Structure formats: structure tokens, C-alpha cells
Amino acid sequence: MKRTNTFEVIPKSDADEELLRRLLDASAALWNEINYERHKNFAGSDGDVWDISEYRGRYGGTLGAATVQQIERKNREAWRSFFALKKKGEANGKPGFWGNASDGRDLRTYIRNTSYSIEWGEYSRLDILVGQDLKQEYGIEYNERFRLEVRGNPNWKEYEKQGRLELFYDEDSKQFRAFQPVTIDNSRLAHPLADEIAALDIGANNLVACTTTTGQQYLYEGRDLFKRFRETTREIAHLQSKLENQRRTTKRIKRLYRRRTRRRNHAQDALVRSLIKRLFHEGVTTIYAGDLTGVLDTHWSVRANEKTHNFWAFRRFVNRLQYTSEEFGIDVEIRSEAWTSQTCPKCGSTTNTTRHQDTLTCGCGFEGHADLVASETFLRQQTTEVRPMARPVCLKWDDHNWSESPCSHRPNVVHTNPKVTSVD
């Protein structure tokens, strides 16, 4: 099973930081040259994007031949992905460039799995291969590697095989960071102690409403997150409106896009891990997540669609859910949740119900929290073994963690159906 370690990389001195920046900048320059050549070949009538120049002679002294190869290979993978999406009619554009010399390049590189080593302990360290020219300039012995300190607490310090290391400078945090793909033994996976089921209703204002066969309900609220997402989007639009003709972006705009995406991804990843840990301790072995394909355009508002597609990135969320569930021995199945948000759990009507914000009401007298009702209805479509509902747990994002909010402990609102509770 493949997983990824993330950690901070720390140069030990100003000279080490200078060397590292030169290494990453040269990698970006190499990427841009390769990419520019492939862009020209793609535009030519007889051009072959795979037929490019030899770059080891020019960049090998700085990067090392192995790293030159990895940059070229990564670029080739990006173009293959572009052609695959183009064939499906889903391509958004050809592979982009890593900044430029005048505005500043994106500092990034890729190190082959055999060209680096990591040791974890009291003094954790990362040793990477650099070119002989840099070694001579900075006084590194011929057979030595460039040594950096690392900081972090990765989940996967023991693994069968390490993959290609991605090393980059994070403009937002002003830190050097690294992603290390690893392959671990499946025997390290956890295994739930029961055989319970959970169902997820994925929404716009409330990001996830979850109901389990144990009778527990969780509600992850997303209004504050979306508000910040919209604020950043408006700031980006304002800056773009001031750009001169022929100019599409600036370094500041790129930084805002990255910040917006990383903020969203951080909250999303934390939500998935928070939820999966809770479900694991309840003994859940199967999660049913709603497939929104076809449901959004039919039943949801344009604003809700914008939130779910652009802000919440539904497909990425499902991929992260499956990825994290695998660690805990939990299966994820995607099934249609059509009409669950309009179905009255008391009389079963889909035409006599009305939804206003978070409340679902029915002509039969039922009233309850719309998303929690939907997740319970979705769960009952998968199994009849559902225990009575407990008071739901409402969680909100504080930029670092999903924490229970006071509404989790308010007295239940009286409903026609005592099994359905309300969360404000």
C-alpha cells in the first residue's frame, strides 16, 4: 500500500540554504526549458513532444544526472496526463511553467529514490545527491551527499520501499518542505473490532453529515470555511481586474490561489481523518458515500453546486476518504443518494416536504435537520439494522482542528419522529 510522509526540511546554515535554493531554482529552470521545447513541438505540424534535447550536459553539474532524469520524467508524466485528459475532452490546458526568471521561479525539485536517504531520531536528517560542480563550490566531498536537518513526525517511518522525493519551498509558510511517497506492508493496517455501517451525506453548507448503525450522528459545518474561500476568490478577482492587457497572472495571484487551495485541502484532510478515527472506534467496517453525479444539476441550486464542485472539491474528498479509510481497514462504497434530502423519514413523501436552510419539514408534521435526516435515510437504504439516534455531534473548523461546538450538547428539539434530532 502506498502512503506519503510530509516533513519540514531545514538548512543548517546560510550557505546550506543558498545551495538548496540554487538546486531548486536550477530544477525549475530545467523544467521550464523542457516544457518550452515540448510546447513548441506540440504547436508544430510535424513536432513530436517526446523528441527533446539532451540536458544532462548543461544541468548535470548542478543537479546531478539522476535528478536531471527525474525532472524530465516528471514533465513527461505531466504531458501524458494532458493527452489522456484531452482524449476524454477534459483537458484544461497544457502543462504549465514553474514561474520565470524575472518574477521568480517556483523552487521545486524531484530526487530519485536511490539518490536520497532519511534517518529519523533525535537528530533527524536528509541526505540528497547534488551535482559535482555544487559540491566543489560548497566544499562537499566527492562521495558525500548534501545533508539537511528535517523536522516532523511522519506516520510511516518504517516502510518497504521509498519513492521519488519532492522537495520544494513553501511561499506561504516560508519553509522548505518535502513529500516522500513510501510503500508499506499491508499487515500494518488497522482492523475494526465490530461490523457497523456508516452513511455520509455530502453537502454545501454542512460538508458532511454522517449517521452510523450504532445510532451516532456527526455533522461537520462548513459555512466559515466557505466564507474565507469566497473572500480569497474576490481578492483574486480584484487583482486580476487590475492586470494589464496580455497579462494573466502575477506572483501574488498565484500565491493566493495556492493559499486558498492548501487551506481547503488542510481542512478536508483533517475532516476525513477526524471522521475515520471516530468511525473506527465505533467498529464501522463499511462507509457508504453519496454519489453526486447527476444529483447536483437536477436538485441543487447553482450556489450549492459552486460550493460542492469548486470549494469542497467532491472528487478529491472521495479520493481522500478512500485513501484514509484503507489505513483503518474500512471499505468505502459510492452509491446514489438521490432524493434522500427530500424524503420524509416518517411518511416517505418526497413531494410534500420543504427544505429551508438546515430544516426539513413535511406536511405530515415532521420537522428535522435536513442533512442529518438525509444521511439517516441514506443509511436505511443500505441496511435495516439501525439503532435509535443519539444526540448528534456538531464539529467546526478552527484552522487547525475539527472541534465539537456547543450545539453538540444542547437539549434535543422535540420532533414528531423521536429518532431524528436537530442541530442548529
**421 CB-near residues (< 8 Å, 6+ apart):** 217, 368, 369, 372, 389, 390, 391, 392, 412, 413, 415
Tell me how many domains the chain contains: 2
Q: Which domain holds residue 275?
A: 196-409
- DSSP 8-state class, residue 411: P
Clarify whether residues 145 and 261 are in a common domain: no
Whether residue 168 is found in the same domain as residue 227 = no
Spacing of C-alpha 2 from chain mean position: 16
Calpha distance 210→274 (Å, rounded): 12
- The reply to whether 257 and 332 lie within a common domain is yes
Query: How confident is the model at residue 421, as a pLDDT?
Result: 37
Which cell is 150 given?
Answer: 528535517
pLDDT in tens, the chain (424 residues): 888 999 999 999 999 999 999 999 999 999 999 999 999 999 987 778 999 999 999 999 999 999 999 999 999 999 999 999 888 887 778 999 998 887 789 999 999 999 999 999 889 999 999 999 999 999 999 999 999 999 988 888 888 899 999 999 988 788 999 999 999 887 777 788 899 999 999 887 889 999 999 999 999 998 899 889 989 989 999 998 888 876 778 888 888 988 898 889 999 999 999 999 999 999 999 999 988 655 444 444 555 555 656 677 888 899 999 989 988 999 999 988 878 888 898 898 888 988 888 899 999 989 999 999 999 999 999 998 999 999 999 999 988 899 998 655 443 433 333 333 333 3
Amino acid identity, position 242: K
In terms of domains, do 337 and 395 share one? yes
Q: Are residues 397 and 311 in the same domain?
A: yes
Q: Which helix (H) or strand (E) holds 318?
A: helix 314-327
Same domain, residue pair 177 and 201:
no
Q: What DSSP string describes 132-174? A: HHHHHHHT--TT--EEEEEE---S-SS-SEE-PEEEEEETTTT
Q: What is the pTM of this model?
A: 0.74
Q: Are residues 183 and 252 in the same domain?
A: no
- Same-domain status, 200 and 184: no
What is the number of other CB atoms lying within 10 angstroms of the CB of residue 186? 9
Domain assignment of residue 295, yes or no: yes
Q: Please classify residue 216 by burial: count the beta carbons closer than 10 Å to its beta carbon, then call 0-12 exposed, 13-18 middle and 19+ buried.
A: buried
